[in-house]
Amino acid sequence: MRVEDILQLEEDIEEWQATRSLCKSSKPDHALGASALASCKSQGYRRRTGNKSHKIGPNKRVKVGGKKIKGKDYGGPLPDYS
């Protein structure tokens, strides 16, 4: 495998997103892969877990656990911390 092929494969993986049908399926969270689950949550198709709060807007903090909130890449208010 050439270096160019490996770099292209890595770019494809970084840009990959779970399909709507996979995210909306009845599969439980533990049956999905970590990357697919994170993608579904960021797209707003699956509920977020945990008791983490995020700053949304200039002065508002919101606990996101149990809510379907989109990430910034998908037009939502949650910032991207990567």
Residue type, 38: A
What pTM, to 2 d.p., does this model score? 0.75
Q: Which position has the higher pLDDT, 70 or 59?
A: 70
Where do we find the tokens 């770019």? Answer: 11
Tell me the average pLDDT of the chain. 83
Q: What was the pLDDT predicted at 35?
A: 86
pLDDT over 70 (residue 81): yes
Q: What was the pLDDT predicted at 15?
A: 61
Q: Where are the domains of the chain?
A: 3-74
Question: 42 near 73, Cβ under 8 Å?
Answer: yes
Residue type, 33: G
The pLDDT tens digits for 19-42 are 999 999 999 999 988 889 999 999
Buried/exposed code over 22-47 (b: 16+ C-beta within 10 A; e: otherwise): bbeeeeeeeebeeebbebbbbbbbbe
Give the C-alpha separation, 19 to 37, whole Å.
11
